[in-house]
Each structure stands twice: as structure tokens, then as C-alpha cells.
């Protein structure tokens, strides 16, 4: 059996090696390493895929969030509502810009921002909401956008884990995750569903004026060469990464289908295991399974992780410490936030390998290893 990886990027690369090698060689021969032709072409192709007017590439997903908040003109002291149960970058950027993160609990089924709790967290200082489409499940965006409109708030979608995901509105219409709020942000980190071979990211918007501001902020605040209208930063997707992403973008739906097939197999295998709650799929969300995350009920997570490691099965905990309990947010009174669902999930979740190249032998070994441990450790 091929050794099991959380994400097997080498086997994925092998399948597209000839195309990737040619594309990278073309960039080397053109020597247009910054803003080369592949960057513009990828931008246009991603716009078409997402059915959105503007895609602005940048250096990474964290930069995308920062640029979004800068482009919206958020000022020190402004409050931004976001979940604590997420990768730290979401809240880190808020603090970096001297804004105040206001943490709201997540839905116990979807693990995404609990829309029903947003309104009570709004104050006169609230300026934006940053929902995170965690693990590949899309946040319930229709009621969230209604709350934002009611209170005149911006919505920045953290779509780093759900590119290719789809949200279905009550009237049956659909939109891609990241294309619903005022700005969508994503990461092209190599392990993402659409990943490059280094760092990369992008912002999305349908607002022409906002798109112009985002481009300006991402390029040293320039409105024209050497004319700097606002304080900006230097954040761009390099041509080599764009060339790789151009090859992988047409395969994204195929990659998602492969991940969903693995998730289906896990769901079926663990359906009757009392110590396991498998990932929920809300009817409004087309889950793209960036992670496959179990919730354990009465089982020792650390011992399971140790047992799986002995069986050569990697398993990760995303995330063991929520943002509001991180030392970096003590001065915001982080630990004072009452987030019982978040605190419970951080002690119970564990993610199993899921990727586009997983074969039947690997999948069976993972499933049998998990079941073996739980059969010997009943709840």
C-alpha cells in the first residue's frame, strides 16, 4: 500500500506532471516572473468559474483578508465579527490592523458561524462580518447577508477552505462560495482544494469601485505608476504559481468529486459507530471537503491519534485551541467570550486523510484502524 498522507501532493502532481513541467518551462523561458501572461489568464478563467466580475490575485490568503479590510477603509477600533473556531489568520489580520475581533460561536452541526447569534454581537462600532467556510462547508449566507444589510455591515468571506463550494438560496438560485459577500478571499496554499506550488491567494468582488481599491491596496496604493493615493502593501501572485493554477483550475470539480467520494465512504463506514459524529451537510451547502472532520463522543482523541500514527495513518486536529483562548488575544478579553460550542468542538474534533489520490486500500486501512480503536474503547 502506498504510504498514506493527509494530502498526497506528489501523486497529484504525477498525474499532471507533463502539463505542469511545460507550463513552468514556458514561464522560465519568457522570464516574465512577475505579472506574466499566466497571471492575467488565470484571473480571467477564475472569474468565469466563479461567475464574478473581478478576481484580484495576491500573495497568500492572509494577505487577501488584510487587503480586503484595508480596501473597505476599516479603522482602528472598528469591530469585526468572526468565529473563533478557525485557523488563526482570520482573527490575526483583524488585530494586525488594530481592529477589534468580536468572536461569535459556531453552529454545532456545520461548525460555521452561527448566524442566529450575530445580531446580539453587533454594536455601534461593528463594521464587518467575516464568515469562515470551514472544512469546505459553506456558511448559511442568505440570512447572514440579510443581517449585514439590516445593519449596514460589510461581509468578507474567508473562503480559503471552500473554493468550488456552492450555496443554494431559498429560491433555488446558486452562487459559488466567495462570490456572495462584498469581498471573498481565498488561499492557494498547496494543500488547498485548488493549490499552487508555493504561496498564493486572491480576492473576489462584483463591485467595480471596490475592485479598483483592492488592486490599488495590493500594489503599494498606486493609482498610476509612482502615484500612491493610499497606504497599501506589496502582494501579488507570481507567474509560476499562476501557470500551475491554470492547469489545476479545470480539474477543480474533478478534485472535489474525488474528495466527496472519500467523504461518502467514511460517512457510510462510520454511520453506526456511536462514538463518531460524521460531518453534517446542510441542504444549502455543496460541501467540498477540504477536511474530513469527525467529532468524537466519549472517545479519547489523543489516544486515537496516537493509535492511528502507530498504524501509519496521519490524523490532524483542526483546531486544538480556538482564537479567543490564544495568548495573542488576551488583551481583547478573549477568554471572556462565552462560546460553549467552540470550546466543546476543540476538544472533540479530529480530521482524517482526504485527498484526490486516495485509493481503496488506503481508505479501507484508515476505516478499519479507526474502528479497531473504537471497538476496544467503547463510549
| DSSP string for residues in 241-280 | HHHHHHHHGGGHHHHHHHHHHHHHHHHHHHTT-TTEEPPP
Of 249, 264, 293, the position where a domain reaches its end is 249
Residues 275 and 361 in one domain: yes
Residue at which a domain ends, from 218, 249, 280: 249
Task: Name the active-site residue from 100, 127, 176, 192.
Answer: 192
Q: What is the pLDDT of residues 221-260, one digit of tens each?
A: 998 889 999 999 999 999 999 999 999 999 999 999 999 9
- The tally of domains found in the chain comes to 2
Residue 170 lies in a domain: yes
Residue 379 scores a pLDDT above 80: no
- 361 pLDDT higher than 90: yes
Is 1 within the bounds of a domain?
Answer: no
pLDDT score at 266: 98
pLDDT band at residue 85 under the 50/70/90 scheme: very high
Q: Confirm whether 4 is domain-assigned.
A: no
Domain range for 193:
9-105+112-249
The per-residue pLDDT for 342 is 97
Residue 14 lies in a domain: yes
Asked if residue 80 and residue 201 are part of one domain, the reply reads yes
In a domain, 168, yes or no: yes
Do 281 and 343 lie in one domain? The reply is: yes
User: What CATH number should be reported for the domain holding residue 240?
Assistant: 3.40.640.10
Q: Is residue 2 part of a domain?
A: no
User: Are residues 158 and 285 located together in one domain of the fold?
Assistant: no
Return the residue matching grid coordinates 455543496. Answer: 286
3-state class (DSSP) for residue 111? coil
Domain co-membership, 275 together with 236? no
Domain identity same for 255 and 245: no
Quote the percentage of the chain above a pLDDT of 70: 100
CATH number at residue 328: 3.90.1150.10
In a domain, 13, yes or no: yes
In Å, what is the CA distance from 284 to each residue of 142, 177, 192, 278, 289? Answer: 10, 11, 22, 18, 15
160 found inside a domain: yes
Is residue 122 located within the same domain as residue 148?
A: yes
Residues 179 and 151 in one domain: yes
Q: Given 190, 216, 249, which residue is the final one in a domain? A: 249
Do 118 and 259 lie in one domain? The reply is no
Q: What angle do CA 161, 163, 167 make, to 5 degrees?
A: 105
Q: Angle formed by the axes of helices 208-218 and 61-71, to 10°?
A: 120
Residues 38 and 147 in one domain: yes
| Residues 231, 121 share a domain | yes
This model's pTM is above 0.85: yes
Average pLDDT score over the chain: 96
Q: Is 69 exposed, middle or buried (0-12, 13-18, 19+ CB in 10 A)?
A: buried
Cα 74 versus chain centre, distance: 22
Q: What are phi and psi of 303, to 5 degrees?
A: -70, -35
pLDDT surpasses 70 at 105? yes
Among this protein's residues, is 170 annotated catalytic? no
Please indicate, yes or no, whether residues 353 and 219 belong to a single structural domain of this protein.
no
Amino acid at each position: 500500500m502506498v504510504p498514506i498522507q493527509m494530502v498526497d501532493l506528489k501523486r497529484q502532481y504525477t498525474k499532471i506532471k507533463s502539463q505542469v513541467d511545460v507550463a513552468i518551462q514556458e514561464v522560465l523561458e519568457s522570464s516574465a516572473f512577475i505579472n506574466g501572461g499566466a497571471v492575467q489568464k488565470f484571473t480571467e478563467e477564475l472569474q468565469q468559474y466563479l461567475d464574478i466580475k473581478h478576481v484580484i490575485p495576491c500573495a497568500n490568503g492572509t494577505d487577501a483578508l488584510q487587503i480586503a479590510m484595508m480596501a473597505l477603509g476599516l479603522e482602528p477600533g472598528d469591530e469585526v465579527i468572526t468565529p473563533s473556531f478557525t485557523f488563526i489568520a482570520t482573527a490575526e489580520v483583524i488585530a494586525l490592523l488594530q481592529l477589534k475581533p468580536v468572536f461569535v460561536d459556531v453552529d454545532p452541526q456545520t461548525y460555521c458561524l452561527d448566524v442566529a447569534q450575530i445580531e446580539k454581537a453587533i454594536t455601534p462600532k461593528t463594521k464587518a462580518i467575516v464568515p469562515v467556510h470551514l472544512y469546505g462547508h459553506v456558511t448559511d449566507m442568505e440570512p447572514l447577508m440579510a443581517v449585514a444589510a439590516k445593519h449596514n455591515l460589510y461581509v468578507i468571506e474567508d473562503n480559503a477552505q471552500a473554493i468550488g463550494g456552492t450555496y443554494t438560496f431559498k429560491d433555488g438560485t446558486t452562487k459559488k462560495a466567495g462570490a456572495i459577500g462584498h469581498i471573498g478571499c481565498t488561499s492557494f496554499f498547496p494543500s488547498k482544494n485548488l493549490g499552487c506550488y508555493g504561496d498564493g491567494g486572491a480576492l473576489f468582488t462584483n463591485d467595480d469601485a471596490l475592485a479598483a481599491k483592492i488592486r490599488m491596496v495590493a500594489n503599494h496604493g498606486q493609482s498610476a505608476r509612482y502615484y500612491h493615493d493610499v497606504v497599501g502593501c506589496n502582494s501579488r501572485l507570481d507567474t509560476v504559481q499562476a501557470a500551475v493554477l491554470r492547469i489545476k483550475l479545470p480539474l477543480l470539480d474533478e478534485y472535489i468529486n474525488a474528495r466527496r467520494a472519500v467523504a461518502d465512504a467514511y460517512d457510510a463506514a462510520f454511520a453506526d459507530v456511536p462514538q463518531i459524529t460524521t460531518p453534517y451537510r446542510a441542504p444549502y451547502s455543496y460541501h467540498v471537503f477540504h477536511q474530513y472532520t469527525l467529532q468524537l463522543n466519549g472517545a479519547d482523541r489523543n489516544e486515537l491519534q496516537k493509535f492511528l500514527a502507530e498504524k501509519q495513518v496521519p490524523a490532524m486536529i483542526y483546531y486544538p485551541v480556538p482564537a479567543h483562548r490564544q495568548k495573542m488575544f488576551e488583551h481583547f478579553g478573549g477568554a471572556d467570550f462565552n462560546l460553549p460550542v467552540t470550546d466543546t468542538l476543540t476538544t472533540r474534533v479530529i480530521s482524517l486523510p482526504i485527498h484526490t489520490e486516495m485509493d481503496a486500500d488506503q481508505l479501507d486501512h484508515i476505516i478499519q484502524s479507526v474502528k479497531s480503536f473504537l471497538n476496544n474503547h467503547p463510549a
